[in-house]
């Protein structure tokens, strides 16, 4: 029997089209998870229609995921959603990311000092993605935004990415002007009615904006007086600490609002 030497086998793998290794059933299973991550709770009929799969195939995929904890079924509505196993896998991946690993301790300390929710966000195209959260201990709080996307221009956290560098956006807003001048800004209503968001950019060693920290809370508690009195300064300091951990020299300096 003819055998392929390891080096020859490796060469063959490198030059073969990656699509030739695609397994359709695995593609279908991943498509199901993608839809669940985007839509939240979905019925089998909705998945079947959106993915172009028959209901039996969709049911079998969901049943397999449910057995492993990656999908949960709501008994009352019959809808399916992502399960804890999917969340845990995502968290394990995030913890291996340098940005999250270096930002997380700073976020926890900032949340303790301010008593508000602190988010780590990253840019995804023309959106800002809420990647990680240290939640507030307050009883009255904003529903978690973890995993959600918002247009960059809608809030100060998105504008933190616009304010520095050539992002393909023209013009400016008061929040962008404050971000460029002071390194921190806030808005009311950009993430929802009655929601206040304050943000600072995070810089990598090459001065590229790789993320943003955001304080998010109800507008009645995150008042302009409180933000401009103490919170923006603490948020800016936290951003500088994370940027320093990412290798940024701290050359960007700001005044105070």
Per-residue pLDDT band for 2 (boundaries 50, 70, 90) equals very low
Q: Domain map of the chain by residue range?
A: 6-83, 97-245
Contacts of residue 121, Cβ cutoff 8 Å, sequence gap at least 6 = 128, 129, 130, 131, 157, 199, 211, 212, 213, 214
Cα(139)–Cα(186) distance, rounded to whole angstroms? Answer: 22
Per-residue pLDDT band for 1 (boundaries 50, 70, 90) equals very low
Q: Positive or negative CA dihedral for 68, 70, 74, 80?
A: negative
Per-residue pLDDT band for 124 (boundaries 50, 70, 90) equals confident
Average pLDDT over residues 75-99: 81
Question: What's the pTM?
Answer: 0.66
Question: Which among 95, 115, 93 is positioned nearest to 103, based on CA atoms?
Answer: 95
Q: Note the CATH architecture for domain 6-83.
A: Orthogonal Bundle (1.10)
- Mean pLDDT of all residues in the chain? 84
- Domain at 97-245: CATH code: 3.30.450.40
Average pLDDT over residues 38-63: 91
Place of tokens 């508690």: 221
Contacts of residue 91, Cβ cutoff 8 Å, sequence gap at least 6 = none
Question: Does residue 3 or residue 39 have the better pLDDT?
Answer: 39
pLDDT of residue 4: 39
Per-residue pLDDT band for 250 (boundaries 50, 70, 90) equals low
What is the distance of C-alpha 241 from the center of its chain? 20
- In this predicted structure, the answer to whether residue 20 has a pLDDT above a threshold of 80 is no
Task: Give residue-wise pLDDT tens across range 183-239.
Answer: 788 999 999 999 999 999 999 888 889 999 999 999 999 999 999 999 999 999 999
């Amino acid at each position: 029997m003819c055998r392929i030497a390891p080096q020859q086998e490796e060469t063959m793998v490198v030059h073969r089209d990656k699509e030739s290794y695609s397994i359709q059933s695995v593609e279908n299973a991943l498509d199901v998870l993608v839809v669940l991550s985007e839509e939240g709770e979905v019925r089998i009929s909705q998945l079947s229609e959106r993915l172009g799969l028959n209901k039996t195939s969709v049911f079998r995929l969901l049943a397999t995921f449910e057995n492993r904890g990656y999908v949960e079924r709501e008994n009352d509505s019959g809808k399916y959603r992502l399960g804890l196993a999917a969340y845990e896998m995502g968290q394990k991946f995030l913890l291996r990311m340098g940005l999250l690993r270096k930002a997380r301790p700073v976020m926890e300390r900032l949340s303790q000092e301010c008593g508000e929710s602190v988010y780590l966000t990253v840019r995804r195209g023309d959106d800002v993605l809420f990647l990680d959260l240290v939640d507030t201990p307050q009883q009255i709080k904003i529903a978690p935004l973890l995993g959600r996307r918002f247009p960059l221009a809608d809030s100060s956290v998105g504008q933190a990415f616009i304010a520095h560098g050539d992002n393909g956006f023209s013009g400016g807003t008061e929040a962008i002007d404050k971000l460029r001048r002071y390194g921190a800004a806030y808005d009311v209503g950009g993430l929802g009615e009655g929601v206040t968001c304050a943000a600072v950019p995070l810089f990598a060693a090459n001065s590229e904006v790789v993320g943003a920290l955001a304080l998010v809370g109800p507008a009645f508690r995150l008042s302009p007086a409180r933000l401009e009195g103490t919170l923006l300064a603490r948020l800016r300091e936290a951003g500088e600490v994370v940027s320093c951990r990412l290798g940024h020299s701290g050359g960007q300096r700001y005044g105070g609002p």
